[in-house]
Structure 1
């Protein structure tokens, strides 16, 4: 199936781990020129080599911290060396903290909001003028099922992902007149399947320990509240399964789809 991505320049933020890495490799296999953004230079070099091996006519890694307001201009400049930007995948995000809101540290609230929502605003704002001028473009934001139903003990993260979803819808209304489509994917319980996906910045990296720390002190009642089940015979999704939806929405095959938020959840929200 031709996804009409051959030769398109695609920026993928948070590209060196998990979903972002899988998306970059998927786009590469469809013949896109991949601009992978991350902080781990070694993981970035591996990803670029893998993208070219998958079929990308060109690929480059941009070392950038998406929390730095200057990063989007740097990324855009590097990307435009390959051609005009056709696709933006706003994938960077994660959990800065977890626990009950009543016990939360107000000093950490903005960190969760900026990582998951501020980065989307800044990177999108950088690429839109070029897309508007060319009357074409596709933007896919990575939200979360947490933004749809609220993940227990992740109140600020859930709120930030909900903001990503709302932004997706309203931006689609604004830029549709310019030939630009905007959609979002809301993943559920996605874990990396490739050890190479564990860049040093990944929340799944052994040195992070974020999830293990968060679960160490919860009660059985709390565990029961957090528990959901899927209807596909396994509790977790692979990064590749999320990438499939992202790549479709970024492609010409989805030319009549915009302003939508698609949960990829194995039926967990049923």
Structure 2
């Protein structure tokens, strides 16, 4: 199926691992000009080579920390050297801390909020004027099922992803009259399709210990509360099972879809 993305410039944040990497490769396979954003230059170089092998019209890597307010302008400038930006995938996100809210450190709240929501606001704010002026564009935000049901022991992360969902809906109302569509995908538990391609900063990288540290403090009662089951024969999605929907929503094949939040959960929320 032709998604009509050939030679369209697409920015993907958090592109060096997991869902972002899969999205960049899917867009490349459709012939898009991919602007991959991340912090790990080594992983970025690997991704660019793989994007070109997949058939990208062009592929470049921009080393940028999305927590830096100056980064969106830098990214946009590099992207526009390839042409007008038609697609933005706001994929950057993750949890800075986990545990019960009563025990949380207020100094860490804003880190979770800024990583998951502030980055979406800033990157969208940079790209949107050009889309509005050209009356063309598609924005896909990566939310989470945590925003729909609340991930146990991830209260601030869940709330921040809820903000991403709400922002998606209201922005779609604002910019639809300008030919710009805005949607979101809410993944459940997702693991990298190719663990060998993890970037240094990925929370899935064992060296960062994000999940092992949290697991050590979880009691059996808490583990039972967190437990969910899927109905598709496996507990997790691979990243390329999420990226296909994102690529579709970014394409003209989804031209009548806007303001929607799509859970991809294997039935876990049933």
TM-score by length of 1: 0.99
Counterparts of 1:28 and 1:80, CA distance in 2: 17
After superposing the two structures, state which structure 1 stretch, 92-101 or 205-214, moved more: 205-214
2:79 is equivalent to residue 79 of structure 1? yes
Residues of 1 paired with 2:84 and 2:132: CA distance?
12
- Tell me how large the CA RMSD over aligned residues is: 0.5
SS across alignment from 1:139? strand
Q: Number of aligned pairs?
A: 270
Structure 2 runs not aligned, ≥5 long: none
**8 Å contact from structure 1 (residues 12, 88) kept in 2:** yes
Q: Structure 1 CA distance, aligned partners of 2:196 and 2:183?
A: 28
- Listed one character per residue, the Cα deviations across residues 157-203 of structure 1 (whole Å, up to 9, x for unaligned) are 00000000000000000000000000000001000121343100100
Matched residue, 2:29: 29
Give the match for residue 90 of structure 2.
Answer: 90
Q: Equivalent residue of 2:208, what SS?
A: coil
* Consecutive aligned runs of 4 or more in structure 1 exceeding 6 Å deviation: none
- 2 CA distance for matches of 1:73 and 1:217? 41
Aligned-partner Cα distance in 1 for 2:227–2:195: 26
Residues 183 and 261, structure 1, Cα contact 8 Å, conserved in 2: yes
1:250 and 2:265 correspond: no
Which segment is superposed worse, 258-267 or 214-223?
A: 214-223
Partner Cα separation in structure 2 for residue 8 and residue 196 of structure 1: 29
Listed as ranges, the gaps of 5+ residues in structure 1 are none
Deviation at 1:218, TM superposition (A): 1.2
How do 1:86-235 residues align onto structure 2 when only pairs under 5 Å count? 86-235=86-235
**Contact 1:22–1:243 (CA<8 Å) still a contact in 2?**
yes
Pair 1:2-2:2 in alignment: yes
Structure 1: distance between partners of 2:193 and 2:142 = 19
Deviation for aligned residue 1:207: 1.1
**Cα distance per residue 1:200-235 (max 9 Å; x no partner):** 010011111111110111111100000000000100
Inter-partner Cα distance in structure 1 for 2:218 and 2:87: 41
Mapped partners of 1:61, 1:9: distance in 2? 13
1:130 and 1:76 mapped to 2: Cα distance?
Answer: 10
User: Normalised by the size of structure 2, how large is the TM-score?
Assistant: 0.99
Worse-superposed segment, 59-68 or 190-199: 190-199
Paired with 1:201 and 1:88, the residues of 2 have a C-alpha distance of 21
Q: Which residue of 2 aligns with 1:13?
A: 13
